[in-house]
Amino acid sequence: MILVSACLLGQRVRYDGRHCLREDVRELLAGEPVLALCPEVLGGLGTPRPPARFVGACFGREGLDLLGGQARLVDDTGRDVSRAFARGARVVAGLCRQNGVRLAFLKDRSPSCGWDPQGVNPQGGPGQGVLAALLQQMGVTVREVRSSARGQV
Ligand code: SF4
């Protein structure tokens, strides 16, 4: 089973109510058993929702810092949404464990799904989203998908 960020397959679950369909990802996964999930929606956050940013986290370990209580996620209204992000990531991680997921395609620049520990994405974003941190701990191979690029999967 392969996990993929739901927005990459066309589900309108992004903070702005839009999707970021990657046709090449959809084609790559055609015929494969896939779990297409959005941790933020599963954590109880609505769509659309204000964007959120890490506060107090070290680059490259933002997700771990949040899960360990050393950092927070705060949305543009000033609301602390750390618990919702952590809850959603744990729900997705649990489903991955139940379904034997070993590979995940996650959207870049997301505080949940982002995975860019070397900081090489020219558009920036966190080095480690909350879900990405949990999947790494589980030994799942995470591949970042740049939503603004083509042919990089
Ligand atoms: S990047 Fe992840 S958290 Fe953000 S909308 Fe897509 S699936 Fe949901």
List per-residue pLDDT tens for the chain, 153 residues long.
Answer: 999 999 999 999 999 999 999 999 999 999 999 999 999 999 999 999 999 999 999 999 999 999 999 999 999 999 999 999 999 999 999 999 999 999 999 999 999 999 999 999 999 999 999 999 999 999 999 999 998 755 444
Number of domains present in the structure of the chain: 1
Are 54 and 62 in contact by the 8 Å Cβ rule? The answer is yes
Q: Identify whether 152 is part of a domain.
A: no
* Ligand 1: lining residues by beta carbon, under 6 Å: 5-7, 13-14, 38-40, 107, 110, 112-113
Please indicate, yes or no, if residue 116 is contained in any of the structural domains: yes
Asked if 68 contacts 112 with a C-beta cutoff of 8 angstroms, the reply is no
- For 8, 30, 53, 61, 73, the CA distances from 56, given in Å and listed in that order, are 29, 40, 10, 11, 9
The domain of 78 spans 2-145
The ligand 1 atom nearest the CA atom of 112? 3
Per the domain annotation, does 132 fall within a domain? yes
11 within some domain: yes
How many CB atoms neighbour CB 137 within 10 A? 12
Model-wide pTM > 0.75: yes
Question: What is the reported pLDDT for 147?
Answer: 82
How many angstroms separate the alpha carbon of residue 80 from the centre of ligand 1?
18
